[in-house]
Chains A and B, each alone.
Chain A
Amino acid sequence: MKRHGAALGAVAFAVAGYAYVVSRQDWWAAALARLFPSLPEAVFPSATVADLVLQHLEIVLISSALTILVGLPLGIWVTRPSGKDFRELVAATVDFGQTFPPVAVLALMMPLLGFGLRPAIVALSLYGLFPVVSNTVAGLEAVSPAVLDAARGMGMGPWRVLATVELPLAARVIMAGIRTSVIINIGTATVAAAVGAGGLGSPIYSGISLQNGAWVLEGAVAAAALAILADTVLAQVERAVAPVA
């Protein structure tokens, strides 16, 4: 427990320090200029890191919310009698969703949804579905049949069994799936820049095409910091929802 607290403190300190440096645009510019002395323009000119992070968060939050909104009910449904028959089909589909590269999904979506936020969100939502659905199914199926038999035998209806027995007991596994999905999403969301949705992918893509390593670094470090922060916060949530330690 003590070690856990120390690790948590270290992460919070590092992220806070980084955030402070970035928020002071002149410090940040000076740091990058020193790292890349040969570059004429070491700081990404189109937007500040703070703005890019906000854009990125918007993409991640919307797509992850959609993933959970679709994935959780889907996982619940295929473990109900009415959805049992679709279990394999759903598993195969979400599995395929993750093996399919998000950039390719973006390319396929463009003719349908055009440019901007919408195709990015659709691609990312599909890509993050797998861990949410598979962990929801795994968590619900791990609930002991004896517990379910007792719950039904004592007069709980199907919804009550789900809400007061199955979901609380599966909460930790489901939450772990959501955490994995969100973390993957934060990294993957950099592709959104390819369809003009902005976010931390913008300096990376621009940096690659203009051979500006500083810009690539600027976007990548911010994305990594965001992922670490999200992981830490969601791990705390996971602990909080765990019914019994």
Chain B
Amino acid sequence: MIRLENVTKRYGETTAVDALSLEVPAGEVCVLIGPSGCGKTTTLRMINRLIDPTSGRIFVNDGDVMRQTPESLRRGLGYVIQSVGLFPHLTVADNIVTVPRLLGWDRARMGARAIELLGLVGLDPAEYAGKYPRQLSGGEAQRVGVARALAADPPVLLMDEPFGAVDPLARERLQAEFARIQRGLRKTVVFVTHDVDEAIRLADRIAVMRDGRLQQYDTPEQVLDHPANKFVHDFMGADRALKRLGRVRVDSVMRVDAPVASGGRSPEAISKRAACSESRFVYLVDANRRLEGWFDCQAVKREGSADTAITAVDWREVSVRPDTSLKEALSRMLGLGFRSITVVDETGVLLGVVGLADIEDTMTDSDAHIASAPAGGDEAGEAEG
């Protein structure tokens, strides 16, 4: 748990952070967001005392940070920055166990921990443990950065625009991986970003800041649907309904009962086997349920022949993963010109299908949900214009 009480940071005449009070419950992700210069990074850096506040108090797990030495405080707070900052003269494995080394773990325990963490962040230990940072791509380096922050299993993670410097595709993947890791580890996370979509996707609560002041502190849904003031409203953007789709994972709305047909190559055979009843498409899979294509029932009716009804596909190009956001899935559909998109696991096994209609339902559902929800926002008291 992290608590900021009336924290102010002044640099001469300028006030970077102005009387900020904020509480991040244990196990939650708090995203600090706002335009550059709003004080979000300063706020983050005051938590691990890379910057000391001018006034106010900061508590981590009920301990006043000013009563600890910066070094011992920081060893209990995982720290990830945009530029990663891996040590170029150390191997990936040695980079990861930086904090354990400071804490005096023995060699065997450090080696085992490095391997465990590489696996957790999706890098093959055999391949990556002995590499040097200059041999890594941006996305790989940031995975190692996250592994390094988690090395001594700190209860708190501080992340300063961690995925800001990688390309959009790698960022998407890193966000999904981070969400997966966080579901398992339940760290208390303070996450700084200026990317609204990223905030909406990853946050349990969003703290919107402007000119050092907290504008609104609430769940992403509340911030999107009930912005506290015009600034928050404008900052979240006009496409708020679309942004909310970033909160929903594909596997929470996909239909898993889509008709499938397996084996057999000839259109007639498929045509006979495919149960063209309610659904327009029948999905073709191999013996391992790996997606190979689909069969368009309407095309058969229209043209009387099954020849043109089969589309063979490479699942890598036309599918999304279960942890993809609906927003991303919608964008892929629009890009491919589809009205529905297949959901597969990492080996191409068909898990389900999401259609435009399902996404529409979600949008109306969540409207209904939010309309009926009590106007929570008990932490939003700090909001001011």
- Name A residues whose Cβ lies closer than 8 Å to a Cβ of B: 144, 146-157, 160, 165, 168-169, 243-244
Chain A residues whose CB sits within 8 angstroms of the CB of B75 once the complex forms: 154-155
Shortest CB-to-CB span from B293 to chain A, Å, is: 47
Return the 9 tightest CB-CB contacts between A and B, nearest first.
A150-B85, A243-B89, A146-B83, A155-B75, A155-B74, A153-B79, A146-B85, A155-B71, A147-B85
Q: Does B99 contact A (CB under 8 A)?
A: yes
A151-B87, A244-B134 known; 5 other A-B pairs, CB under 8 Å?
A: A146-B84, A147-B85, A150-B79, A153-B50, A154-B79
Q: Is the Cβ of B89 less than 8 Å from the Cβ of A154?
A: no
Q: Is the Cβ of B74 less than 8 Å from the Cβ of A168?
A: no
Q: Is the Cβ of B86 less than 8 Å from the Cβ of A147?
A: yes
Chain A residues whose CB sits within 8 angstroms of the CB of B85 once the complex forms: 144, 146-151
Q: Is the Cβ of B87 less than 8 Å from the Cβ of A153?
A: no
Q: Is the Cβ of A147 less than 8 Å from the Cβ of B81?
A: no
Q: Does B102 contact A (CB under 8 A)?
A: yes
Q: Is the Cβ of A153 less than 8 Å from the Cβ of B148?
A: no
What are 25 A-B pairs with beta-carbon distances under 8 A?
A144-B85, A146-B83, A147-B85, A147-B87, A148-B85, A149-B83, A150-B84, A150-B86, A150-B87, A151-B85, A151-B87, A152-B50, A153-B48, A153-B79, A153-B158, A154-B79, A154-B98, A156-B71, A156-B102, A157-B71, A165-B87, A168-B89, A244-B88, A244-B89, A244-B132
Q: Is the Cβ of B88 less than 8 Å from the Cβ of A169?
A: yes
- B76-94 vs A, CB cutoff 8 Å, 1 = contact: the mask equals 0001010111111100000
CA gap between A152 and B171 in the complex, in Å: 26
CA gap between A243 and B87 in the complex, in Å: 11
Q: Does B305 contact A (CB under 8 A)?
A: no
CA gap between A51 and B114 in the complex, in Å: 57
Chain A residues whose CB sits within 8 angstroms of the CB of B149 once the complex forms: 154
CA gap between A147 and B87 in the complex, in Å: 6
Shortest CB-to-CB span from A156 to chain B, Å, is: 7
Q: Does B72 contact A (CB under 8 A)?
A: yes
Interface majority SS (helix, strand, loop, mixed), chain A: helix
Number of residues on chain B facing chain A (CB within 8 A): 26
Chain A residues whose CB sits within 8 angstroms of the CB of B84 once the complex forms: 146, 150
Q: Is the Cβ of A153 less than 8 Å from the Cβ of B89?
A: no
A168 to B, closest residue via Cβ: B89
Q: Is the Cβ of A155 less than 8 Å from the Cβ of B102?
A: yes
A171 to B, closest residue via Cβ: B89
Chain A residues whose CB sits within 8 angstroms of the CB of B48 once the complex forms: 153
Chain B residues whose CB sits within 8 angstroms of the CB of A156 once the complex forms: 71, 98, 102
A160 to B, closest residue via Cβ: B102
Shortest CB-to-CB span from A91 to chain B, Å, is: 27
Q: Is the Cβ of A154 less than 8 Å from the Cβ of B87?
A: no
CA gap between A148 and B50 in the complex, in Å: 11
CA gap between A169 and B85 in the complex, in Å: 13
CA gap between A165 and B145 in the complex, in Å: 16
Q: Is the Cβ of A153 less than 8 Å from the Cβ of B88?
A: no
Residues A152 and B89 in contact in the complex (CB < 8 Å), given A146-B81, A146-B83, A244-B132: no
Shortest CB-to-CB span from A23 to chain B, Å, is: 43
Chain A residues whose CB sits within 8 angstroms of the CB of B71 once the complex forms: 155-157
Q: Is the Cβ of B74 less than 8 Å from the Cβ of A154?
A: yes
Shortest CB-to-CB span from A34 to chain B, Å, is: 54
A169 to B, closest residue via Cβ: B89
- B216-255 vs A, CB cutoff 8 Å, 1 = contact: the mask equals 0000000000000000000000000000000000000000
Within B52-111, which residues are at the interface with A (CB < 8 Å)?
70-75, 79, 81, 83-89, 98-99, 102
Shortest CB-to-CB span from A32 to chain B, Å, is: 50
Chain A residues whose CB sits within 8 angstroms of the CB of B98 once the complex forms: 151, 154, 156
CA gap between A243 and B90 in the complex, in Å: 8
Chain B residues whose CB sits within 8 angstroms of the CB of A147 once the complex forms: 85-88
CA gap between A131 and B75 in the complex, in Å: 38
CA gap between A150 and B71 in the complex, in Å: 12
Shortest CB-to-CB span from A241 to chain B, Å, is: 10
Chain A residues whose CB sits within 8 angstroms of the CB of B134 once the complex forms: 244
Shortest CB-to-CB span from B113 to chain A, Å, is: 15
Shortest CB-to-CB span from A69 to chain B, Å, is: 25
Shortest CB-to-CB span from B141 to chain A, Å, is: 11
CA gap between A160 and B98 in the complex, in Å: 12
- B113-156 vs A, CB cutoff 8 Å, 1 = contact: the mask equals 00000000000000000001010000000000100110000000
Residues A149 and B72 in contact in the complex (CB < 8 Å), given A154-B79, A165-B87, A243-B89: no
Chain B residues whose CB sits within 8 angstroms of the CB of A168 once the complex forms: 89
